[in-house]
Amino acid sequence: MCKHCGSHHCQQPHHHQNPTTSAVGTTQCAPDSGCCSSHAEGEGNAGDDDPDEHCHAHAQRQNADTPSERTSIDSVNAHEWGVTGMDCPSCAAKLEKAILATSGVAQAQVMFATEKLRVTYTADAQASTERAVEQAAQKAGFPLVALNQTQPEVTGWKKWRQDALLFGLIAVMMVAWGLHYWSEPLSGALFTLATLVGLAPIVGKAIRLVKSGSPFSIETLMSIAALGALYLGETTEAAMVLVLFLIGERLEGYAASRARDGIQSLMALVPETVTRVHASGERETVAASALQPGDVIEISAGERLPADGQLMGAMASFDQSALTGEPIPVDIEVGDAVMAGSLATDKTVQLTVTSAQGENAIDRILRLIEQAESKKAPIERFIDKFSRWYTPTMIALAALVVVVPPLFFAASWQEWLYRGLALLLIACPCALVISTPAAITSGLATAARRGALIKGGAALEMLASVNAVTFDKTGTLTEGKPIVTDVLTWQGDEKDLLKYATAIERGSHHPLAKSLVLYTAERGIEVPDAHNIQAQAGQGVKGDVDGCRISLIALDRLTDDMLTPNQRHQAGEIAQRGVTVAVVMVEGAPHGLIGWRDTLRGDAKQAVNQLRDLGIHPVMLTGDNPAAAAEIAGELGIDFRAGLLPEDKVHAVEALAKHYRVAMVGDGINDAPAMKAAQLGVAMGSGTDVALETADAALSHNRLTELPGILQLARATQANVRQNITIALGLKGVFLVTSVLGITGLWVAVLADSGATALVTLNALRLLRDKRQ
C-alpha cells in the first residue's frame, strides 16, 4: 500500500522514492509527488507539521471523498459498452430505464457525452444477464457495441433513410396539396398514405419504449395524436403534424451532435496504433491499448502521443493546444512529462510510457465528464422529478378536456377530441426535460475545453453563486518554487559561502535545496564533494567539505548565542520581508546567510483583479509566517490569514461562509479539509491527479486566470438554464390555453413542442461559442 496516496495499486513512481532533507531540516516527500507542498512555505511555517501526517491526511482525504456510488460502479461486477442511436439526453434516460428493468442489473448509467453505458450487476446475476442487457438495449432502439470495437459507420441507404423519409413526405404532401383543387378524395388518400408511412417507424419505437418502461414518450403521444387526427378525418393536419415532428427531431439531433463534438474531438486525440521500440532497438507497430508503463515508444513529427510519457533523448517541441488551449508549441526538456494527445512538432522523439491503460490525461478528463453527467444540479433533479408527474397529469387533463364538455355541456365529441389531442402534444415534456441538461452539458464541455474540469451540474450551479474565493498561498497564488533572493556574507566571500552550502545540499530534492543548486550553477561556481552528510529533522543539514564541518541551519532554530546581535538583526530584517533564511556555519562559526522566497504566479494579480470586477471577495489563507504572507498579500492587495494549521483554515473558511458563498482554491492535498469545508473546492493543475478525486473542480492547465473565466461561464450557464425553462414553460403555457380554446390546432401544437425543444437546445449551444481566454 502506498503511504503517500493510500492506494494498493499506486502507479506513481515518485510516491515510492525516499524522503529527502532540506536546508531547514524538514523531512520532505518525494519530488513532484504533489504531496506536502507546505514544505516550500518557508521557515516559521505553522502549517509545516509532520509530512507523513500530510500524506496520511492525503490518503484519508481520497478515501473520504470517494462517492459512495463508485463502490458499485467500479466493482468487478461492472461492464461497459458503447451506445449507438442516441440523439439527445432524453434517449439516455430511456435506455437507462430499459436496462434497469432487466433482471440481475443493480445499476445502470448512460453517459450521453461519451456514448457509453456502464452496468453493475447484482451479486446473484446469471451469466445470461449480459446478453439480456444487450437485448434490452436493442429493443429500446439503442444497440450496444463493445468499447474496443469501432462503432459501425452508417453508410448508404441507412445513412439517408431518415432524411429520405422526411423529404419524401414533404414531396408527397406538396403533390397532395396540389391535387386538392382537382380531387379531394385523392388528395386525402395521399395525405393519409404519407401519414401512415411516416408514422410506422414512430409507432414501432413507441411500442418498444412502452415495453421497456417509458410509456409517456413523445413517440407515444405523437402516435396517438396522428392516429386521432386521421380518425377525425383531418388528414392534412395529421401529415403536417408528422412532418413538423420529423423536422424537430432532425434539429434536435443536429444540436445534440454539436454539443457532443468537443468530447468526440477529445477522444479522437489518441491514435489507435503506435511504434513501440524494444530494448534491442527493434520497432513494431502495436495497438495503443497494448501499451504498458515502462514501454518505449517512438513518435514522428506530426503524430500524437497515445499515452502520457516521459521524454528521452534531446529536447523536443510539442503542440499541446488541443489540451491546454495554448497555440504556441512547448519545449519539453529530457525527463519531463508529456500528456497524451500532444503533437510532436519538430522531430521524431522517443518517450517512456508512464500511464497505465485508461489512466492517461485524456482518459482522466473523459472520466471526469462521465462522472459529471451523473451528478445533476439541484434544478436538474427538480426538473426530472417534475416531469415524472407532469406528463401523466397532462394526459389526465387531456382526457378530461375530451370527456367533460360533451358529457356535461352537450358539446361536439369530435371538436373536443381534436382539442384533447392538441393538448396531448403540447403536454410532451421534451423541451422542459432537455432545457437544463442541454445547457449544463454545453457549459461543462466549454469549461473542459478551456482547462477547467468541473464535476457535474451541481458544482457548476454552485460556482455560479460563489461571491468569495479563498486561496492557499504556496503552489496556488505562488509558483511553489522558491528562488534564492539574498546571499549575505559575514566572513569570507560569497563564492565560498555558496560553494560550501551547495555541497551539502546537492542531491536533496527539497525545493529550497534545488533552487540553491541551480543558483550556484548559474554563477559557474564549482562545487566540491561533501561527506558525512547528516540531516537533523527540524534543525538543518551538516556535512564535511574540504575538511571543514559545514552546517546549514534555519534561522529560527539558532540559539541566541550562535549569532552576534548585529548578525541577528540583519537576518531578522531579511526574514521580515517574507524570506526564508538559513545560516551557513563553518566549524560552528556563522559565515553568512542565504535567503529564499517564493514568487507570485505570473497571472495571479490579473486573476485577483478579474475576480474583484465580478464582485467576488478574494482572501489568502496560509500556514506561512505573517511576514511572508503579508508580502504576498500586499502585492496582490488582498486580505489574508497567516500561521494557519489545516484545522485553522477550516475555521477561517467556516467564519467566512457566514457572510459569503465560498470557494476554496488549493493544491488538493494539504488544503483538502478547507476545500471540503467550503461550498466548493477548486484544485490547481499541479495536483490534478489528486484533484480529480478530492475537489469539485480542477484548473488542469494551472492557470489562475481560468478561475474568473469559469465563474463567468457558470453564471452564463445558469442564466441559460433560466432562459430555457422560461421558453419551455412559456410556450407550453400559451399554447395549452389556445389549444383548449380551439384557437390553435394539432400542427401548431407540434410546432410548439418541437420548436420549443429546438429553441432550448440551440440556446444552450450558445455556451459552446464562449471565446473568453
Annotated catalytic residues are 472
Look up residue 412 and give its three cell numbers. 361536439
- Determine phi and psi for 12, rounding to 5 degrees: -95, 105
Side by side, which strands form the sheet with 116-121? 105-111, 116-121, 78-83, 144-145
549 forms bridges with which residues in the sheet?
544
105 in Cβ contact with 129 (< 8 Å): yes
SS (H, E, C) 254-271: HHHHHHHHHHHHHHCCCC
SS (H, E, C) 202-250: HHHHHHHHHHCCCCCCHHHHHHHHHHHHHHCCCHHHHHHHHHHHHHHHH
Cβ within 8 Å of residue 386, ≥6 positions away: 432
- In the chain, how long is the greatest CA-to-CA distance? 116
Torsion sign across C-alpha atoms 35, 37, 40, 43: negative
469 in Cβ contact with 684 (< 8 Å): no
578 in Cβ contact with 597 (< 8 Å): yes
Cβ within 8 Å of residue 438, ≥6 positions away: 89, 255, 259, 724, 760, 761, 764, 765
Q: Tell me the C-alpha distance between 734 and 743, whole Å.
A: 11
* DSSP letter for each residue of 675-689: HHHSSEEEEEGGGHH
Q: Tell me the C-alpha distance between 556 and 550, whole Å.
A: 18
- Nearest one of 683, 112, 720 to 452, comparing CA atoms: 683
Q: Tell me the C-alpha distance between 433 and 391, whole Å.
A: 11
Secondary-structure percent of the chain, ordered helix, strand, coil, rounded to 5: 50, 15, 30
Q: Tell me the C-alpha distance between 97 and 213, whole Å.
A: 6
Q: Tell me the C-alpha distance between 653 and 676, whole Å.
A: 10
Q: Tell me the C-alpha distance between 222 and 242, whole Å.
A: 8
503 in Cβ contact with 543 (< 8 Å): yes
